[in-house]
Copies of this chain bind each other. A is one copy, B any other.
Amino acid sequence: MPTEKEPTRETYAAAGVDLAISARAKELISKHARLTLRPEVLTGLGFFSGLFEFKGFKQPVLVSSVDGVGTKLKIASALGRYNTVGIDLVNHCVNDIFTCGAEPLFFLDYVAMSKLEPERVEAIVKGLASACREVGMALIGGETAEMPGLYTGDDYELVGFIIGAVEKEKIILGRQIKAGDVILGLPSGGLHTNGYSLVRKIFGETTQILNTHYPELGKTLGEELLVPHRCYYQQLKPLLPYIKGMAHITGGGLEGNVPRVLPPGLKARFNTKAWTIPPIFKLIQRQGNVDRDEMYRVFNMGIGMVVICSPDNSDKLTKALPEAKVIGEVIRQAGKARVVIE
């Protein structure tokens, strides 16, 4: 047995966990979360319990997803700007469950840092709450964790959990998709939340480089990299009857995500001339001398959401979605590849 230590009086606060600061953070979080509540939330029961009265569906299917923001978090901390990462997180999650037609109901977040800074937590949650409000979703609960020794310096973690619902008969599966169907692309806002580890490797993450103005971007690199993940729910929701399948373009790019919605034996052919690759991707490719194929595997390359419809509905959709472009078509699969990017 080791010898006893000298009798310093140890406390939780001295060990880096201050329950009073944690309480202060919770108070600030509640302030913003309250603005998101909807009638189904049974708030009288204590905010952090997360009780949601579920009604209004005939044959409901609950649709859930969990996501993080990846190392975009590190860009935000390098620049000391925490008000957008919450928007990234919520929008990413909303798009994910919306691909099967689900409407968002409620959201929970997890924030961890070495030393809780209530004001930093508040900035993050303010972003979360504003994005929740945009889609009528309740920020129903969350956890703030103080983890000294796991996170260092300004590092932190941010994870989100979403619950939505869809009528069973209205789940969008992509099962009606067939050869000849049209692939529409909706523009991304930028990198969204993918590929940041590669970007950080290429550019580094000093404030000097992040604050460098690039004429081709019309802004600094840091500003460009923090552009929030776009949410496609509001614009696509009224068009669901005309949509056969959707793919949210996240990690893995077009190649990794579009096959998820394609029935067996089909393949997606993309015509990259159909849309303009945003300057940030060209800059990354040039600066890192990154292979073209690797670019398309890692990044969204300007397409944040893919919508597949029959040729009959294509005009209706492009009319309703002025930013949407026909970027490809569904064809029969010959070899192994399920996606071809031309």
Contact = CB atoms under 8 A, between A and B. Distances in A.
A266 interface: no
Nearest to A42: B61
A229 to B, nearest CB: 15
A167 B147 CA distance: 36
Interface stretch (A9-17, A80-88, A127-135, A302-310): A9-17
A291 interface: yes
B15 A200 contact: yes
How many identical subunits does the complex contain?
Answer: 2
A159 B12 contact: no
A106 interface: yes
Given A51-B63, A63-B49, A66-B143, A71 B289 contact: no
Contacts of A15: 197-198, 200-202
A298 B201 CA distance: 41
Contacts of A165: 54
A152 to B, nearest CB: 7
A68 B145 contact: yes
B10 A290 contact: yes
A142 B66 contact: yes
Interface residues of A, number: 93
A286 interface: yes
A287 B198 contact: no
A93 to B, nearest CB: 10
Nearest to A65: B50
A201 B57 CA distance: 51
A19 interface: yes
Interface stretch (A107-115, A317-325, A334-342): A107-115
A171 to B, nearest CB: 7
Nearest to A11: B294
A2 interface: yes
Contacts of A50: 62-65, 97
A21 interface: no
A10 B288 contact: yes
B9 A291 contact: yes
A161 interface: yes
Interface of A: 1-2, 4-5, 7-12, 14-17, 19, 42, 45-46, 49-55, 57, 59-68, 70-71, 73-74, 97, 99-100, 105-106, 108-110, 112, 140-143, 145-152, 155, 157, 159, 161, 163, 165, 168, 171, 173, 195, 197-198, 200-202, 209, 212, 214-215, 251-252, 256, 260, 286-291, 294, 297-298
The 9 A-B pairs of least Cβ separation, nearest first, read: A10-B288, A15-B201, A161-B161, A50-B64, A15-B198, A7-B289, A66-B108, A52-B62, A15-B197
